[in-house]
A = this chain, B = another copy of it.
């Protein structure tokens, strides 16, 4: 199969992307895909663009990870809405020099995460063009109309939570860049150095969208607002607060930072606050519902890290009790040079 001919490419894709899946009336190969929406559910739609040189680098990221991460970013948006992920489409532009093996592995990375997430790959578009490889993933989900997790629902007094662990993906990127040369073990009460290394690399290369946690929070109406921490905890929390018209305070000692064994030249708290691409969920819960919140869902822990306050902006409460302004900057798609 040559990738120079669009029809052959579509046939190659059809072999990889099964045409029959629940809810799919018509998959890859026609002018458009046709799906059947679930009854009494709204449809959630998101697109995520991943561009070589910005979101990934061919010399750092194996092609399976390039595919996985592109789909994971889009699925994470659905998770942050409390939606059930159902379908995905992929538009991809690649230069003529791209090898078939590299492209195959990108599709394998997408396919493996899609299968695991019960997501049917139903279409897309493909162009051979000079320039960076770019992937645009469209993710389609469905959600209970009255319980979608929006950014603008946080209210004064709500408790602030985050799933999983923060800063691990940024640590993984640092490890990739330095080829783990500078990583030093300081402590290994729970995690040894090599175990942390594996966790961090996995967090960066194969982040897991928090779909189960998001659906749990939405369908039980536990969360008042949610966003995913794609651009860093502080930045995305700032967005949630701006949308909700409120402020937030975060307790430094409650942040689920990378383990101490991971110590690099990077500060663990800074990693947790600024490191991007964790794809954890940041969410708020009214105090009256906090008792009903479990410790974890599907193995993903929920950490209470602060609270919603009146006003604007973010505050960081240091270990010694002093408060400081927390700048809502982070990892910006518009600025970063990963």
Residues of chain A whose beta carbon lies under 8 Å from any beta carbon of chain B = 3-7, 9, 25-26, 29-37, 42-49, 51, 53-55, 76-78, 80-81, 83, 87, 89-93, 122-132, 134, 136, 138-141, 143, 145, 148, 150-152, 226-228, 231, 239, 242-243, 332-335
Partner of A334, one of B4, B34, B78: B4
State in angstroms the CA–CA spacing of A48 and B32 once bound together: 10
A333 touches B6 (CB 8 A): yes
State in angstroms the CA–CA spacing of A145 and B130 once bound together: 39
A239 touches B134 (CB 8 A): no
Known contacts A34-B43, A145-B25: A136-B6 contact under CB 8 Å: no
A43 touches B47 (CB 8 A): no
In the complex, what residues of B have CB within 8 A of residue A226's CB? Answer: 31
Most buried by B among A9, A29, A34, A87: A34
Q: Could you list 6 further interchain pairs (A-B, Cβ under 8 angstroms) beyond the known A31-B227, A33-B46? A: A31-B228, A33-B45, A34-B44, A47-B138, A54-B129, A128-B334
State in angstroms the CA–CA spacing of A6 and B130 once bound together: 26
A148 touches B25 (CB 8 A): yes
B89 touches A45 (CB 8 A): yes
State in angstroms the CA–CA spacing of A298 and B128 once bound together: 36
Most buried by B among A31, A92, A334: A31
State in angstroms the CA–CA spacing of A9 and B131 once bound together: 24
In the complex, what residues of B have CB within 8 A of residue A334's CB? Answer: 3-6, 9, 126-128
Partner of A125, one of B44, B49, B83, B140: B49
Known contacts A78-B32, A228-B31, A243-B29: A125-B136 contact under CB 8 Å: yes
In the complex, what residues of B have CB within 8 A of residue A136's CB? Answer: 47, 49, 91, 125, 136
